[in-house]
Amino acid sequence: MDPLTAIAWPLRTERLRLRRAVASDAEPTWTWRRLPEVAEWITRAPGDVETYRAQFTDAARLASLLIVELHDPGRPGEAGLPIGDIMVRVEDGWAQDEVAEAARGTQAELGWTFHPASQGRGYATEAVRAAIGACFEPLGLRRVHAGCFAANEPSWRLMERIGMRREEFSRATALHRSGVWMDGMNYGLLAEEWTP
């Protein structure tokens, strides 16, 4: 079952539109995901667009990805331009065996990348807030969470701006492709902590 079908797409905010990703979004998302300053922090950084497209169009991955399009009244010439993507991967909460069924599909892991040309304007804050809002209502999830390298300050600052709570700071737990074991951070937010 595809949990995100319960949301009435697209989601609209003051300056943005969020819709589900389709296979043809491989090329637009590649325009920012291939850039070193974006690739540095994300899990996969293939060196060519063919490999990227094969990974991007994996059915499970595509089903959990949203595309953020610009609809900023202040930038009318760029209306509809894809500027970022947000992962919303619905998953099971941790549970003991006897109650595991009750924890199925109760939370979502989030992730995000935005084009550097569209950073520093609050678009990521606006878009991630909309995605989180949809996770709680209508999806009815009880928790969202996300992780990042501790050195990725823009990402954890985004989470703190949104009101996510730092749940973990771990020493040298995440191996960066540079070969360095880096510190990691995890943030979470419960439905009852969310202010729409």
Nearest to ligand COA of 31, 119 (CB atom)? 119
Residues from 29 through 58 that contact ligand COA (CB under 6 A): 38, 41-42
When the beta carbons of 157 and 165 are compared against ligand COA, the nearer one is: 157
For ligand COA, the closer CB: 13 or 103:
13
CB 104 to ligand COA: min, Å: 26
Q: Which residue is nearest to ligand COA (CB)?
A: 122
One of 157, 166, 176, 177 touching ligand COA (CB under 6 A): 157
Q: Which residue from 53, 68, 57, 51 is spatially nearest to 9, judged by alpha carbons?
A: 68
**Cβ 150 to ligand COA, closest distance in Å?**
11
Q: Does 185 bind ligand COA (CB under 6 A)?
A: no
Q: Which of residues 71-130 bind ligand COA (CB under 6 A)?
A: 112-114, 119-125
Query: Which residues form the interface with ligand COA (CB under 6 A)?
Result: 38, 41-42, 112-114, 119-125, 148, 152, 154-155, 157-158
